[in-house]
A and B are shown apart, each in its own frame.
Chain A
Amino acid sequence: MAATRTATADERVAQTPLARKLMARPELGAVAGAILVFIFFGIVAGGSGLFSAPGIINFLEVSAQLGIIAVAASMLMIGGEFDLSIGSMIGAAGVIIAIPAAQWGWPLWLCVLLAFAIAWLVGYVNGLIVIRSGLPSFIVTLAGLFILRGLTIGFTRLLTGRTQVSGLKDLAAADWLAPVFAGEVGGTVMVWLAHIGVIGTRADGAPAISGIPMSIVWWFGLTAVATYVLLRTRVGNWIFACGGDPGAARNVGVPVAAVKTGLFMFTASAATLFACVQVLDAGSADTTRGLLKEFEAIIAAVIGGCLLTGGYGSAIGASFGALIFGTVQMGIFYTGVNTDWFKVFLGVTMLIAVLFNNYIRRKVTEAR
């Protein structure tokens, strides 16, 4: 498009069609998909309670848990790498919190900090191996997936004789840090909303929902921060550059190794956050927690517009991908369809998303 003309005419900017501008947004597909899903379930499950206040909180909570790891996975994918050890990290972090707290009497907040410290170590090691060896992160973290899961099961059985650790409910209730992950906010707002009749009330007069779960707050917060970092900071530009062409990035002074290692540490941290939310809310940890979550996170990121080759994508898109998941999962439940069909939906949606992304990439780089 850039013609070597002398006459400048800024008004041509306005002539770029809106459709084309929208096409250049990576999250377009996921936003459109989410709208379609809402319309569909609005018609099919309108009267089933899916869109009542508790129903909304339900599917948002499911979306939020996936969203937390999907946002991190999308940033890593934009940076040109994968992390398949996310799911195993969720299981590991859960047990790391539960065993010292339930078995050895450590304060819960210390266990949470320990879990994050180990997550940073795992992320750092993942990054170190990928950078130093030059091997695809797909393979390196696939090894991580098995090693981490195996260590989790092995150590848990060794230390407790079982693969589940429970009895955290009371500890969480007494801890000062636990409510940050498993609490609720906005209780008074809910009372007020119930009072003016926006949301329903229970039989005893309490509002139908007692507050917004912290997982949803974390999800929105992470999405906002990740989007700001990607689009409006130096690091954001580095992440896109690392994924687009690490060689070119290095040549102009981008610290590629540091950026990628940092992103691996971020995905491991997000997995630990996921584990905190689950474990502190449920009061128990299970070594099989987070199974296959790495793939769901990657699917959400891909639906959100991330290219598998890196250098392109969006954190908001990944969040919308997670929202589609959560809505469909709960929608299928509310409409009474057998939940077995959810997996079919997952695969088909991902296939459509990849085809769509492929087409978009061609459009974006095509000469105008």
Chain B
Amino acid sequence: MANGNGGPPLVELRNIVKRFGSVIALNGVTMKVHAGEVMCLLGDNGAGKSTLIKTLSGVHQPTSGEILIDGEPVTMYSPRDALDRGIATVYQDLAMIPLMSITRNFFMGREPGGRRAFGRFNVGSANRVAKDEMAKIGIDVRDPSQAVGTLSGGERQCVAIARAVYFGARVLILDEPTSALGVKQASVVLRYIAQARARNLGVIFITHNVHHAYPVGDAFTILNRGRTYGTFRKEEVSREGVLNMMAGGKELEELSAELEEFSRADAATGRTGVAEHAFAEGLHKEAESLHKH
């Protein structure tokens, strides 16, 4: 289904390098996102995911390399710039203000009332828009003037995503939207990601969790030590394959070998408990002998 329209990708990164002084955070990242495609960005801690997001959302400017939007090279100087070009980032924790109403959160920073600071905020129509937009994604809000704090974590993420879509986002960057959520909550968000794709948005879905990424992803880009490890289409790679690459294959193999070693040792002593008991006994004796001296 991806790349069905045949046009240029919505967003393309060409050989992006970002240095902070002597630290090389990104060292040649190349990646494409098409409309109607969910690109999963996977990588361990320190792989450069957050630097890449911040570069894409206009917070950082790349040291070298090109960002192309609709095939045109662009330079973005601020988050506002990125927003105006249709790139919206939904941050994991900095998305919502719990004490403010759903409507007020929904319109935060983009209130109705034109450009004037003292323009009128029409609460009635704003409430209707918020309620309708939430209904579109299958979340039935009884009262959009209730505080966001009354929503669950998954629903809050959905409000943030719905807000980005409503204000004209064409590319959604979701920073670990499911990592703090339970299974049920995560599925609400995942369902919405699939819906966003159906509405022909490009989605960049950053996550640690292969079980969340694999069902909704169309392509997987693995980031490792500031470099793209490669982009794989879903047809080309299995769930285990993705997991392997993410954890850096080798470490996983070593870990599984170690685990096998443990289980063999357990089998030899009969039960794990026995070994622990013996160890405790030894400590006790040692302590007693120290007392006597």
Are A237 and B107 in contact (CB-based, < 8 A)?
yes
A27 CB, min distance to chain B CBs, angstroms: 15
Chain A, residue nearest B84 (CB) = A253
User: Which residues, 75 to 95 on A, are CB-close (under 8 Å) to B?
Assistant: none
Known: A4-B139, A253-B80, A367-B152. A233 touches B121 (CB 8 A): yes
Are A241 and B120 in contact (CB-based, < 8 A)?
no
Are B119 and A248 in contact (CB-based, < 8 A)?
no
Known: A237-B104, A244-B98, A248-B96. A8 touches B110 (CB 8 A): no
List the B side residues contacting A8 at CB < 8 Å: 135, 140
> Does A240 have its Cβ within 8 Å of any Cβ on chain B?
yes
> Does B123 have its Cβ within 8 Å of any Cβ on chain A?
yes
In-complex Cβ contact of B110 among A3, A253, A311, A312 (8 A): A253
Chain B, residue nearest A236 (CB) = B121
In-complex Cβ contact of B91 among A233, A251, A311, A364 (8 A): A251
User: Which residues, 93 to 113 on B, are CB-close (under 8 Å) to A?
Assistant: 94-100, 104, 107-113
Q: How far is the CA of A238 from the CA of B146 in the complex (A)?
A: 18
B277 CB, min distance to chain A CBs, angstroms: 46
List the B side residues contacting A254 at CB < 8 Å: 108-109
> Does A132 have its Cβ within 8 Å of any Cβ on chain B?
no
> Does B147 have its Cβ within 8 Å of any Cβ on chain A?
yes
Are B108 and A241 in contact (CB-based, < 8 A)?
yes
User: Which residues, 120 to 157 on B, are CB-close (under 8 Å) to A?
Assistant: 120-123, 134-135, 138-143, 146-147, 149-152, 155
List the A side residues contacting B99 at CB < 8 Å: 240, 244, 307, 311-312, 361, 364-365
Known: A244-B100, A247-B94, A254-B108. A233 touches B113 (CB 8 A): yes
Are A231 and B138 in contact (CB-based, < 8 A)?
no
B134 CB, min distance to chain A CBs, angstroms: 7
Are A234 and B151 in contact (CB-based, < 8 A)?
no
Known: A5-B140, A365-B99. A235 touches B118 (CB 8 A): yes
Known: A2-B141, A252-B108. A366 touches B121 (CB 8 A): no
A306 CB, min distance to chain B CBs, angstroms: 12
User: Which residues, 229 to 270 on A, are CB-close (under 8 Å) to B?
Assistant: 229, 231-238, 240-241, 244-245, 247-249, 251-254
A227 CB, min distance to chain B CBs, angstroms: 13
List the A side residues contacting B97 at CB < 8 Å: 240-241, 244-245, 248-249, 311
> Does A202 have its Cβ within 8 Å of any Cβ on chain B?
no
Known: A253-B79, A361-B99. A1 touches B121 (CB 8 A): no
Are B104 and A6 in contact (CB-based, < 8 A)?
no
Known: A234-B119, A237-B108. A253 touches B83 (CB 8 A): yes
Q: How far is the CA of A235 from the CA of B120 in the complex (A)?
A: 9
9 nearest A-B residue pairs (beta carbon):
A365-B149, A252-B109, A244-B97, A253-B109, A234-B111, A248-B94, A234-B113, A245-B97, A311-B99
Q: Could you give 20 example pairs across A and B, Cβ below 8 Å?
A: A1-B151, A2-B134, A2-B142, A2-B151, A4-B188, A234-B117, A237-B111, A244-B99, A251-B79, A251-B89, A252-B109, A253-B79, A253-B109, A253-B110, A311-B99, A311-B100, A364-B147, A364-B150, A367-B151, A367-B152
